[in-house]
Amino acid sequence: MLAPGTLVGDRFAIETPTGAGGFGTVYRAHDARTGRAVAVKVMHAGRADALDAARFAREAQLLRELEHPHVVAYVAHGSTTEGRDYLAMEWLDGENLAQRLEREPLRMDEAIRVLRGAASGLAEAHRRGIVHRDLKPSNVLLRDGSVDGATLLDLGIARRDGLSVTRSGQMVGTPRYMSPEQGWGREVGPAADVFALGCVLFECIAGIPAFSAEHPAAILAKVLFEDAPSLLHVRADTPPALVALVASMLARDPLDRPRDGEALLTALGDLPEMHGGAAPARQGLPALGRDELRLASVLVAGLCSTVAERDQQVQELRARASYVEHRESDGALVATFLHRSSSAADEAANAADAGRRLREAHPSASVAVVTGRVRETPGSDGELLGRASSLLATVSGTVALDSMTAALLEGRFPTGVRQGVAVLVAGPVADLSRPLLGRPTPCVGRDQELSSLESMYHACVEEGTGRAVLVTGEAGAGKSRLRHELARRLECAEAPPRVLVGRAEPGAQGASYGVLGLALRALFRNEDGPLDYRRLRDRVGASFPTDDAERIATFLGAMMGLPLPNGARIEAARSDPRAMRAQMVGAWLDLLRAECMRTPVALLVEDLQWADAASLDLLAATLRDLVDVPFLLVGFARPGPWRSGWQAPQSLRELAVPPLDKRACVHLTRVVLGETVALPVVERLVERSAGNALFLEELIRAAHQGDDGAAPATVVAMLQARIGRLEPGARRVLRVASIFGERFDADVVFRLFDDETSRGDFDQAVSDLVREEVLEQRRGQQLFGGTVLRFRHALMCEAAYDLVTEDDRIRGHRAAAALLLGLNGEPAVVAEHQARAGDVEAAGTSLERAAEHAYQRADFETAGRLSKRGLSLGVSGSVRGALLAVEANRCVRTWDWQAGLIAGQEAVRLLLPGSAWWCRAVTALIGFHAYRNDGPAAALLAQAALRTTPDAAARLHYVDSLAHVASASIQIGSTDAGRDAIARIEEVAPDLADYPGVHAFVTLIRCTLLRHTSDDMAAQIALARTAVRRFAEGGGDPLAALLARDNLGEVLCWAGQRAEGEEILRSALEGARRMTHVYARTHVAIAFAHGLLVREEAEADVEAEALARSVLDTAGISAGFEAMARHVLAQLMGRRGARDEAAREADRAIALSAHTPVRRLQMLACRAKLCERPDDALEAVELALATLEELGEGGYAEAPSLLVAAEILFTNGNPERARRTMERARTGLRARAARFDDTERALFGAVPLHRRIEAWCIDHLA
């Protein structure tokens, strides 16, 4: 990535990246020659492939030749100083056609105008013998947003007739807009571009692509094997002439299309005039969920036979298959076997047996059998045909099987492997018929786990202590059943607890405190009527005084998302995310402690791996706080990387749920199928289940219904076969419900049934699904007021969703998003629906809202995850800027300075100055500039911030950003900028004292300014005490509140008030260790070590060294913390006489401290003291004094640095300069002492450093 300001070709100054691909990156740049903006495409570094270089050169050559108003204009090309090729083109303002279609559909006349412009540019290219080969909406830019300004972009894979730089047989282009001949890798001409424009025109008019599937390979298969749909099927009001034109453009045979761009322009000219027309609508499509995919096996056979033999083969296949086609193009037979029986493997076996018989009749034939999902109509199996063709291209002279088919056939047909492909081999077909019996499944094989959990609960009650256990197991291991059985047993215990059940949902990771919000609702579920703030306050009021009850109810209500009355407390918290988070945590802990004091509480949380970061942090805080009351937390989760991110207490026990052993599996099978079932059947089920409780349950159910008990790898297919046996209405309910995920509101799902389906029919289908154990009702849970249902197993939801057509997925997710928006659904959930529907900008906006909610709660991890999701969608404008601001702030907390710098810089450029997100971006970016010691960049940003007028709603965000500007400026020695920022805060927020948390943080920055300038310790102590008090009054960021305490403790130690200072620091260190933020622990540890060093006592030095080494042992610490820790070690080693080791540590500390001049001054003085040679010591002293001279004021580093300098100067023959240096030290010391009262002044004078300064002055000054 080229940095802003980089000069390319001695002409083009890079401004910002605007897009990137596998080939290169495009930047907006300034043309120094013309003064205009240009687009500069620069080849990626390391692209040494000669073919890639040739393509790049060809694009420049072709673009240079093409001068046309509907083709992007060439400016220049060449190589950078690093040898990377670049191409400069005119900068086009506007949006590409893909962005326009995502934002707003085109009218019919607008679509024709876009096509006419694109065809005009294409005609010029074709006249010059140039074929574009990658036409698609994103490569058509609407100049200035006008549909009349369609301009062709990106000739990166274009070619001239007779000139090719493509590898032999390589497919180039984009599958969705690729002609069949291009998909086959054959020679292409202008007609391929006409086909691509036909795809673009179809999409503009219909509102959906002509060829659509989930994966590119599936799209390509449709292009190769299926005819394009007619516009009339999706847009009934399309004029016949336009329908005919699009059909001709999308003809499979290139000879049936308009031959080139010129012919296309002529055809467009023959169209009748069109006056607008409705925007693309989904008229003509079946009602949502009516169209469905079914499981099917497809056989493709390449045969060499006579016409009579072929006809006989077709007749034989038709007797077995759902439909058969003889493909004239290559003579192949294609037979589709829809899965209609009770077994997922029956039709796969049917197709495989048909293939085996064809091979027996024609030993030289090649056959492929694949299994997947298709519509129940001929010609819809393009994806499966593509997979079959791929198998036939890999192996020949056999019956080749894809992995799904091979798994389904296990135990029925003998199979082998050739060239990595499963194939049929000779051998008998097994007969695995089974008896039909069935019973519900109990909880078996978990006695040991249940006993352990019950024992832990009894220990909680007997000892009156809090305990926690994390139960882990793979998906389907039986964790939910274990949780249910544990809850049942606890409720039957001698001293039953209050059992609260929380559950994390995959789609709720963007919703802060989603898990515990459910548990809270469970706690209050016995209240009459729906839960609201009044009922919540009354319930809480039974246990707390009025003021506490108001506070707790307010912030618990915020956690649960209840509508809340306006009030000063909640309004103040909403203006400060960190304060809001602290208040919600306090309310939760207060309530839970009160509940535990009345009766033991057991909190059972399912699917903890999906929990939002805020809930995980709160659970960890709960475990740390409720150690002295009878409280049991049992979390159930899958193992995985999520666990490493949860900073749970070390007391957390872990209990792994292993696969069911054979004895338990046999017992389960016997209980359900009955004692009379044959032993071989039982053993086979047990073996195939691999101890997975879900798989075994489904295998047992399949055995009861006559299925063959397929291997666990095909459970989804088994579930789909089970779905296929349901009534059509029930199947439709499952498909539509799966769009919402594992858990859904029945009322909301019904609203997507926009046809003649009655509510009675819908409810009956739901009841049938509950009775069939496909769905289960979640009593006591609420989403949007309707009945909450849940797929009994996550894999059943996945199986149902796989049966939803691509069109229904897009329509369903779009409708779901609209419904949830109207119901004030979680923005993160709405965003996922919008993203899956292809509504990228809308999804970005929803993700911005979700990130805002998380940010307000100081849940920066969740906010960061949401921002990454939004950025991955390719959002633009202010939405992108807001998400980049979130990402920059996340990087602050992970110390990812480089990524944060890039994100912050782009965010500041994209956002409106003075907006809330702009202020947040500045907050992060100023810190990155300070860390990199980039004074000029920090100064520019600081000036921009100081000149900005904030939005009225963003005033407190602006104050916060100015406080960070002040802090960063002070750290890098720009104290004047720090003072200016503080003065600007006073100007825009004269009422700052009304906002305790913000006022506390600004007061802390004032203290920091003094520490780096006058080092007025009395004033610092007063400011730090004020900051601590204001944080306690109004919440604010818990991290900042902790830093105020460690600042106070450290300054008290430097002032000689050691007892109070060390007590504060020790308390702060304990608080930091309870926080998950690494920054908190390292900052307090360093402050405490500095405070201990003041004493110059052996006992304190030992503790200080331990603290410094703990910082160095912390993974991922910043350079600044490492420098401070090494400086502590250098001082300690110097005191012990380990001069060489001390010097090494000091050198490393100095090297890491270029960005903090005051800290570096102190380290330079330390290093000077460690020099053995006088000349080296004097050189180090001169460097330290020059640094002090440049700073003007040395703050906390001035006195110790002046003492070291004077001692070395005096010892090495410069007594006069030594005396002048020490006179400055004594003057400053006495001025600081004068600001204390008599008692405090005595303590100040007793500090060892201060005593040495006075003693030196007595000995050497008059």
In the chain, what is the straight-line distance between the N-terminal and C-terminal CA atoms, in Å? 63
CA dihedral 394→396→401→403, nearest 10 degrees, is -20
pLDDT in tens, 1163-1211: 999 999 999 899 999 999 999 999 999 888 899 999 999 999 999 999 9
Residue 340: strand, helix, or coil: coil
Question: Does residue 196 register a pLDDT over 70?
Answer: yes
Token couple for 283: 């008229």
CA dihedral 1039→1044→1048→1054, nearest 10 degrees, is 70
Question: Does residue 378 register a pLDDT over 60?
Answer: no
**Do 32 and 11 form a contact (C-beta atoms < 8 A)?**
yes
pLDDT in tens, 749-761: 888 886 667 888 8
Instruction: Give the position of tokens 């240096």.
Output: 1221
More confident residue, 509 or 918: 918
Question: For 284-308, what is the mean pLDDT?
Answer: 71
Q: What percent of the chain has pLDDT over 70?
A: 88
Predicted confidence band of residue 51 (pLDDT cuts 50, 70, 90):
low
Interatomic CA distance for residues 1131 and 1137, integer angstroms = 10
Strands 37-43 and 74-79: unpaired
> What are the residue ranges spanned by the domains of the chain?
7-49+70-90, 94-269, 293-413, 460-656, 662-710
Token couple for 1181: 């002293």
More confident residue, 463 or 306: 463
Strands 743-745 and 94-96: unpaired
Q: What is the mean pLDDT of the chain?
A: 84
Query: What does the pLDDT read at residue 526?
Result: 55
Query: What does the pLDDT read at residue 281?
Result: 38
More confident residue, 1203 or 183: 1203
Burial classification of residue 568, based on how many CB atoms lie within 10 Å of its CB (0-12 exposed, 13-18 middle, 19 or more buried): exposed
54 Cα distance to chain centroid:
37
Question: Does residue 1137 register a pLDDT over 50?
Answer: yes
Query: What does the pLDDT read at residue 781?
Result: 61
Question: Does residue 785 register a pLDDT over 70?
Answer: no
**Do 924 and 889 form a contact (C-beta atoms < 8 A)?**
yes
Query: What does the pLDDT read at residue 171?
Result: 44
CATH topology of domain 293-413: Alpha-Beta Plaits (3.30.70)
Question: For 454-467, what is the mean pLDDT?
Answer: 93
CATH topology of domain 94-269: Transferase(Phosphotransferase); domain 1 (1.10.510)
Q: At what angle do helices 1058-1073 and 1038-1054 cross, to 10 degrees?
A: 150
Question: For 505-526, what is the mean pLDDT?
Answer: 66
Going by the DSSP 8-state scheme, the letter that residue 177 receives in this structure is G
644 Cα distance to chain centroid:
17
Query: What does the pLDDT read at residue 216?
Result: 61
Interatomic CA distance for residues 463 and 468, integer angstroms = 14
Question: Does residue 115 register a pLDDT over 90?
Answer: yes
Question: For 492-507, what is the mean pLDDT?
Answer: 80
Going by the DSSP 8-state scheme, the letter that residue 950 receives in this structure is P
Token couple for 150: 């369609």
Query: What does the pLDDT read at residue 1193?
Result: 87
Residue 501: strand, helix, or coil: strand
pLDDT in tens, 1012-1049: 998 799 999 999 999 999 998 876 778 889 999 999 99
Residue 416: CB atoms within 10 A of its CB come to 13
Strands 366-375 and 399-401: parallel
Going by the DSSP 8-state scheme, the letter that residue 1217 receives in this structure is H
Residue 26: CB atoms within 10 A of its CB come to 18
Question: Does residue 129 register a pLDDT over 80?
Answer: yes
Interatomic CA distance for residues 1159 and 971, integer angstroms = 9
Query: What does the pLDDT read at residue 680?
Result: 85
**Do 814 and 495 form a contact (C-beta atoms < 8 A)?**
no
Question: Does residue 633 register a pLDDT over 90?
Answer: yes
Interatomic CA distance for residues 205 and 487, integer angstroms = 56
Least-confidence region, from 200-214, 433-447, 640-654, 882-896: 433-447
In this structure, the chain runs to a length of 1262
pLDDT in tens, 4-48: 788 998 999 988 777 655 567 888 889 999 989 899 998 876 544
Question: What architecture does CATH give domain 460-656?
Answer: 3-Layer(aba) Sandwich (3.40)
Q: What percent of the chain has pLDDT over 90?
A: 39
Interatomic CA distance for residues 1127 and 1158, integer angstroms = 13
**Do 130 and 160 form a contact (C-beta atoms < 8 A)?**
yes
pLDDT in tens, 945-956: 999 999 988 999
Interatomic CA distance for residues 351 and 790, integer angstroms = 35
Q: What are phi and psi of 1229, to 5 degrees?
A: -60, -45
Beta bridge partners of residue 916, listed in sequence order: none
Question: For 622-631, what is the mean pLDDT?
Answer: 92
CB contact set of 282 (below 8 Å; sequence gap of 6+): 207, 234, 811
Query: What does the pLDDT read at residue 429?
Result: 38
CB contact set of 7 (below 8 Å; sequence gap of 6+): 13, 14
Q: What are phi and psi of 42, to 5 degrees?
A: -120, 130
Predicted confidence band of residue 430 (pLDDT cuts 50, 70, 90):
very low
Considering just the CA atoms, what is the radius of gyration of the chain in Å? 36
pLDDT in tens, 1141-1164: 999 999 999 999 887 889 999 999
Question: Does residue 1119 register a pLDDT over 80?
Answer: yes
Burial classification of residue 586, based on how many CB atoms lie within 10 Å of its CB (0-12 exposed, 13-18 middle, 19 or more buried): middle
Q: What are phi and psi of 204, to 5 degrees?
A: -65, -40
CATH homologous superfamily for the domain 7-49+70-90: Phosphorylase Kinase; domain 1 (3.30.200.20)
Query: What does the pLDDT read at residue 941?
Result: 93
Predicted confidence band of residue 529 (pLDDT cuts 50, 70, 90):
low
**Do 968 and 1156 form a contact (C-beta atoms < 8 A)?**
no
Interatomic CA distance for residues 1068 and 319, integer angstroms = 81
Query: What does the pLDDT read at residue 408?
Result: 78
Question: Does residue 1067 register a pLDDT over 60?
Answer: yes
Question: Does residue 284 register a pLDDT over 60?
Answer: no
Of the candidates 1191, 1248, 1249, 1247, the one whose C-alpha atom is nearest the C-alpha of residue 1225 is 1249
Q: What are phi and psi of 240, to 5 degrees?
A: -55, -40
Question: Does residue 701 register a pLDDT over 90?
Answer: no
Question: Does residue 604 register a pLDDT over 60?
Answer: yes
Query: What does the pLDDT read at residue 411?
Result: 57
Query: What does the pLDDT read at residue 1181?
Result: 93
Question: Does residue 243 register a pLDDT over 70?
Answer: yes
Predicted confidence band of residue 280 (pLDDT cuts 50, 70, 90):
very low
Q: What are phi and psi of 379, to 5 degrees?
A: 85, 5
Least-confidence region, from 288-297, 586-595, 1008-1017, 1229-1238: 288-297
What's the Cα-to-Cα distance from 342 to each of 322, 566, 707, 720, 722, rounded to whole Å? 16, 59, 6, 10, 7
**Do 371 and 293 form a contact (C-beta atoms < 8 A)?**
no
**Do 873 and 906 form a contact (C-beta atoms < 8 A)?**
no
Residue 227: strand, helix, or coil: coil
Question: Does residue 340 register a pLDDT over 70?
Answer: no
Question: For 770-774, what is the mean pLDDT?
Answer: 85
More confident residue, 156 or 611: 611
Interatomic CA distance for residues 220 and 334, integer angstroms = 18
Token couple for 134: 């990658």
Query: What does the pLDDT read at residue 168?
Result: 35
**Do 40 and 88 form a contact (C-beta atoms < 8 A)?**
yes
Predicted confidence band of residue 709 (pLDDT cuts 50, 70, 90):
very low
